[in-house]
């Protein structure tokens, strides 16, 4: 098995005011701020990046944003660029989350530009892919992943010292309490790794971290992490509470 360091990432989505984000991140620092066996990232809303950055300073936790716009600056009211995110203290940025694809019309071509912009600002993109329930039911899971990976990563130079992270998040498992069966998750992760190997070579395929996302909680994390191609988790709902998120981070104990 490859020696990829696990990444446990929390996606806070559109939750938490600045004071709430500060309290939660301080509590997380107390619980997991010295953990070094896994990488930890939290992605608060843009408004709370600065307070969370300050609260986690000096701990092993790292900061991520939930989205970016690919232009560096300009007349794009309401958007936030990669250099802005980096200057707020972020190391990671989530790109192409299914909620962005579903509610805000994001496309694989847009995802591709966003990943490029993240690289240019030395951010590590966490690129989300995954099929909907009707797509799975009609046997299209692999063809959906093919398209998302091939078009999303098209023409990018991925053999960098900070390769991107992929998050496999079956849309039907997000926020629903339905987790993919371990064998379904492993099958999809192995397939994604094969696509990376075909498109970018074996070296990147064995180095890239593929996270699972969709109703991850303290009760199912250990089983998921035991699978050979699962290198971490992107956690939504269960990352909002320090108790549950820290239990997930301590999945080995």
Min dist. Cβ of residue 81 to ligand PGA (A)? 23
Min dist. Cβ of residue 10 to ligand PGA (A)? 9
Q: List the catalytic residue out of 62, 169, 189, 247.
A: 169
Tokens of 116: 């490029």
Q: List the catalytic residue out of 22, 62, 97, 106.
A: 97
Tokens of 22: 């500060």
Q: Which residues bind ligand PGA (CB under 6 A)?
A: 11, 169, 174-175, 213-216, 234-238
CB within 8 A of 164, min separation 6: which ones? 115, 118, 124, 125, 126, 127, 153, 158, 208
Give me the DSSP letters along 59-127: SSEEEEES--BSSSSSS-TT--BHHHHHHTTEEEEEES-HHHHHHH---HHHHHHHHHHHHHTT-EEEE
Min dist. Cβ of residue 127 to ligand PGA (A)? 12
187 counts as catalytic = no
Helix, strand or coil, per DSSP, at residue 39: strand
Min dist. Cβ of residue 14 to ligand PGA (A)? 12
Q: Determine if residue 89 is left, alpha or beta; phi over 0 gives left, psi from -120 to 50 gives alpha, anything else beta.
A: left
Q: Of the two residues 10 and 163, which places its CB atom closer to ligand PGA in the complex?
A: 10
Q: Of the two residues 169 and 231, which places its CB atom closer to ligand PGA in the complex?
A: 169
97 counts as catalytic = yes
Min dist. Cβ of residue 104 to ligand PGA (A)? 14
CB within 8 A of 126, min separation 6: which ones? 9, 41, 64, 92, 93, 94, 95, 164, 165, 166, 167, 211, 234
| Residue 159 CA neighbour count, 13 Å, CB half | 7
* Residue numbers annotated as active site: 97, 169
């Amino acid at each position: 098995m490859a020696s990829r360091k696990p990444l446990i990432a929390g996606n806070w989505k559109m939750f938490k005011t600045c004071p709430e984000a500060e309290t939660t991140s301080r509590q997380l620092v107390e619980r997991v701020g010295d953990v070094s066996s896994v990488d930890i990232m939290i992605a608060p809303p843009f408004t709370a990046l600065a307070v969370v950055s300050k609260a986690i300073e000096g701990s092993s936790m790292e900061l991520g944003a939930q989205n970016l716009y690919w232009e560096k600056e300009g007349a794009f009211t309401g958007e936030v660029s990669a250099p802005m995110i980096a200057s707020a203290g972020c190391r990671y940025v989530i790109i192409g989350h299914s909620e962005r694809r579903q509610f805000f019309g994001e496309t694989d071509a847009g995802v591709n530009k966003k990943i490029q912009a993240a690289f240019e600002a030395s951010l590590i993109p966490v690129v989300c892919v995954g099929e909907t329930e009707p797509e799975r039911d009609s046997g299209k899971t692999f063809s959906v992943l093919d398209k998302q990976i091939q078009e999303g990563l098209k023409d990018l130079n991925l053999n960098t010292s900070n390769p991107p992270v992929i998050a496999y998040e079956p849309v039907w498992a997000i926020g629903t309490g339905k987790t993919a069966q371990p064998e379904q998750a492993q099958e999809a992760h192995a397939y994604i790794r094969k696509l990376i190997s075909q498109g970018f070579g074996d070296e990147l395929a064995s180095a890239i971290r593929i996270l699972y996302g969709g109703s991850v909680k303290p009760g199912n994390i250990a089983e998921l992490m035991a699978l050979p191609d699962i290198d971490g988790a992107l956690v939504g709902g269960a990352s909002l509470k320090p108790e549950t998120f820290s239990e997930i981070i301590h999945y080995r104990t």
